[in-house]
Amino acid sequence: MEYAQVLSAVEALSPRGMDFGLSRTRALLDGLGSPDVKLKIIHISGSNGKGSVAEYVTHILLAAGKTVGTFTSPAVYDYLEQFRINGENISRAAYARAFGEAVELVGSATRFEVETAGAINAFALAGCEYAVVECGLGGTYDATNAVLRKEIALISSVSLEHVAVLGNTLESICSHKAGIIKDCPAVVSALNLPEVISYFKKRGAFVADGVKITGEKSFSYRGRDYELKMEGCAQPYNAAVAIECAKRLNIAESAVYMGVKRAELPARLQKISAGGNEYLLDGAHNPAAFAPLVGYLKSIGGAECVIFGSLSDKDVRGNLENLKGLAKRVIAVTPHSPRAMAAEEVARICAECGLCAEVADGVENALERAAGTVVVCGSFTILNEAADWICKRL
């Protein structure tokens, strides 16, 4: 099949929604010849920071001369950015081959399960040595956990999220995240509450503690100095998890330093200047994820406008509470998603939180009304449209 045919077949699975469990993904992988056993898999779970940890690990391995496949989600600007080989989006031809083989075995599998199997298949076909794989949701029953063996499990910061699926206590959520620790060493971020740290220590995880902030984009960790390209107060802690991962893989310190310095990720405190305005795009979508954005806004005295859209299964009130005193006004929008919260409901919650809010008919309409320092946040689903509009004005 050609790329467009395969993509259409994958997209047609979207109505199946989420259906947790490992058996369907394992059946897909077995049908593909078990490509996962040909790879050294680095599996990443957590509530926030998973994508950043994946990026640091990927760049460290690339700096060490390794061949690396990286599977992260969701896509922000380009569908194929979820599946990268040596830091570059997979080609359409490679996608058609690897995912086409998965589609032929689809059975009752969901879209994410097919994408997981397709990504692993693509990395094996490309001759990758390592696969950096980010969990979709949770860990224990996430499709990515169907792989047979792993080099190491990494857990970023953990907080209350997806409570309807993962449970409404930190212990329950930790249990799901810890499910990726299967016959492999584990490293957990020090950017966690004490009860989270304690939970993972009992599971035998090493805590990447010892981070010392030395500058806006620099830090020291266990006696060594590092420089960062990525913005945000959480990044040194995310990087430390990747550094500990690299140590356990016996990666040279020179490659670790360069990998940490080179790593960058779109839509995490991403700044764009255009048309006399300063735009800040951030994928923060739960209260804990707002910490870096809140810290930055406090440092600049807040924003003239925040364009906010959210999915209905998020803690919208908790997210908006973070913006009190930092946004002169909020423009609510409805994301293009079947799980979207209506802009009118967002505006209602804003009013209850003491935020001045109005409703816009889409992201473009909101951006046309905004000026000065403008933040776009609340969901990754609104960032692509925002970036397209902004970049046309560069």
Q: What is the pLDDT of residues 251-267, one digit of tens each?
A: 999 999 999 999 998 88
Q: What is the pLDDT of residues 93-131, one digit of tens each?
A: 999 999 999 999 999 999 999 999 999 999 999 999 999
- State in Å, rounded, how far the first CA of the chain is from the last one: 38
Give the relative orientation of helices 3-11 and 111-125 as an angle to the nearest 10 degrees. Answer: 150
Q: Does domain 270-391 have CATH number 3.90.190.20?
A: yes
The pLDDT of residue 165 = 52
Domain 3-262 -> CATH class = alpha beta
Confidence class for position 394, pLDDT limits 50, 70, 90: confident
Q: What is the pLDDT of residues 25-35, one digit of tens each?
A: 999 999 999 99
The pLDDT of residue 355 = 97
Contact status, residue 264 vs residue 55, Cβ threshold 8 Å: yes
Query: Cα(184)–Cα(40) distance, rounded to whole angstroms?
Result: 11
Q: What is the pLDDT of residues 302-351, one digit of tens each?
A: 999 999 999 998 899 999 999 999 999 999 999 998 889 999 999 999 99
Query: Average pLDDT of 29-49?
Result: 97
Confidence class for position 286, pLDDT limits 50, 70, 90: confident
Confidence class for position 166, pLDDT limits 50, 70, 90: low
User: What is the arrangement of strands in the sheet containing 88-89, beginning at the earlier edge strand?
Assistant: 88-89, 83-85, 68-71, 130-134, 40-45, 152-155, 186-189, 206-208
Confidence class for position 164, pLDDT limits 50, 70, 90: low
Token digits of residue 245: 């991962």
Contact status, residue 153 vs residue 177, Cβ threshold 8 Å: no
Query: Average pLDDT of 212-219?
Result: 95
Indicate whether 230 pLDDT > 70. Answer: yes
What lies within 8 Å, CB to CB, of 59 at 6+ separation is 87, 258, 259, 260, 262, 263
Contact status, residue 205 vs residue 68, Cβ threshold 8 Å: no
% pLDDT > 70, the chain: 98
Query: Cα(23)–Cα(42) distance, rounded to whole angstroms?
Result: 21
The overall average pLDDT reported for the chain is 94
Q: Domain map of the chain by residue range?
A: 3-262, 270-391
Query: Average pLDDT of 178-206?
Result: 96
Same fold, 3-262 and 270-391: no
